[in-house]
Amino acid sequence: MDSRRKFLKQFGTAALATTGISTFNPLNATNLKERIGKVSQRDPRELAKDEDFWYHVQKAFNPSPHFINLENGYFLMQPTVVLEAQIRNMQMINENTSFYYRREMAEERLNVKKKLAQLAGVSHEEIVITRNTTEALDTVILGMDLKPGDECLMTNQDYGSMLEAFEQRAERHGVKNNVIDIPLWPKNKMEVVRAFEKAVTPRTKVILVTHMINLTGQILPAREIADMAHERGIEIILDAAHSFAQVDFSIKDTDCDYMGTSLHKWLCCPLGAGMMYMKKEKIAKTWPLFGDSRISKDDIQKFEHIGTHPENTRLSIAAAIDFHESLGVKRKEERLRYLKNYWVNQVKDLPKVTINTPLGDDQSCAIANVAIEGMAPNEVSDYFYKNHKVWTVAINREAVKGVRVTPHLYTRLEHLDKLVGAIKEIAA
């Protein structure tokens, strides 16, 4: 470990000479909990601008000094405490092997599930820990009781894995998929609801709603869409891959029937952790992908039979929840929105620049998408990386073309200044 630390320090300093960005010694972490205790009375919106406070949060992470990572939408770096818990859990399992799996795993897994359910504000009898959103939502989409001719409503900005699963249902079972456009800069929430409502037919059985669209960061009015759907007897599948643990909301308030999220995104868990939620009354009628006939049809555990898998990742969810809760979701949300606004506000009015993200506080948070007139998205992201070591991702979908920029809690204003400089240069 010591030599790795030395290496990181040395190599980090060398890399800084090329990026011009200084780094923290991440191993110098102060007691974050104590710091958070001192700001507990402050308004999260005001605290979002307090660089002294966020400096200490940044030190809880250990980002690479070789580039500026503004592509945290794929999956998020774990804080060091979570990574350490994961390593400890791996060691423990490697030492105990089947003894742990046969004797102790079930109880510990239940404890983690209960903790996660409490964070999510639902019963542990309504959730399953999955590997990711794809597994959670594809289990729902492929397991729903749909008949030939039933219609499923979704948008052209939904995530590919979910669109693919519906495509499978169309090919295998004759369901009809209705894929619509939604407005990017709606005047109000009801404009989005009406886009869905207009496409509903008497045969519509389910609507897929992406709570926060990964391409643009746009937040959709999940509750209002659910109310419109439920009035017509239509179910809602909520894709909360990006909203869960990034913005402050409760699953119950959205009134979705099914939900999936990736805990390795904004909860900052180790890779390979997700969650499926299903309203209790929906469990009996949904088919599990793998099945376990010993378990009652209305027991959520029927979805848990996936074979031997790395339980250490599930165990480490507990450490990620502790970190998340000690910071508090509202503080996290306000800081992330502040970081997004910090760079967006400096470039949004420049000629040739378009921000493909609605900017109202309830319309987006950390993620935004920027397009430069006359340049393909990959030309822009390549320019950022080659010239400024700013790592982003090009989005080239029919509905959205631009570069997605996603800061994390360790992102510093000088990282965003680099991005702003790069945008100004390229748009000039």
The one among 113, 205, 242, 415 contacting ligand PLP by CB under 6 A: 242
Assess 134 for contact with ligand PLP (CB under 6 A): yes
307, with CB counted inside 10 A (0-12, 13-18, 19+), is: exposed
* Residue 130 near residue 260 (C-beta atoms within 8 A): yes
Q: Considering the complex, what minimum distance in angstroms separates the CB of residue 261 from ligand PLP? A: 8
Rounded to whole angstroms, what are the CA distances from 254 to 183, 260, 276, 279, 405? 20, 13, 15, 12, 27
Question: Which of 79-87, 235-243, 374-382, 395-403 is the region at the interface with ligand PLP (rule: CB under 6 A)?
Answer: 235-243
Assess 218 for contact with ligand PLP (CB under 6 A): no
Distance between CA atoms of residues 249 and 211, nearest Å: 11
Assess 156 for contact with ligand PLP (CB under 6 A): no
Assess 214 for contact with ligand PLP (CB under 6 A): yes
Assess 130 for contact with ligand PLP (CB under 6 A): no
Q: Considering the complex, what minimum distance in angstroms separates the CB of residue 12 from ligand PLP? A: 29
Assess 216 for contact with ligand PLP (CB under 6 A): no
Assess 159 for contact with ligand PLP (CB under 6 A): yes
The one among 155, 262, 363, 392 contacting ligand PLP by CB under 6 A: 262
Assess 133 for contact with ligand PLP (CB under 6 A): yes
Q: Considering the complex, what minimum distance in angstroms separates the CB of residue 181 from ligand PLP? A: 17
Q: Considering the complex, what minimum distance in angstroms separates the CB of residue 157 from ligand PLP? A: 9
* Residue 332 near residue 246 (C-beta atoms within 8 A): yes
Question: Which of 101-109, 239-247, 324-332, 339-347 is the region at the interface with ligand PLP (rule: CB under 6 A)?
Answer: 239-247
Assess 239 for contact with ligand PLP (CB under 6 A): yes
Q: Which residues bind ligand PLP (CB under 6 A)?
A: 132-134, 159, 161, 210, 214, 239, 241-242, 262
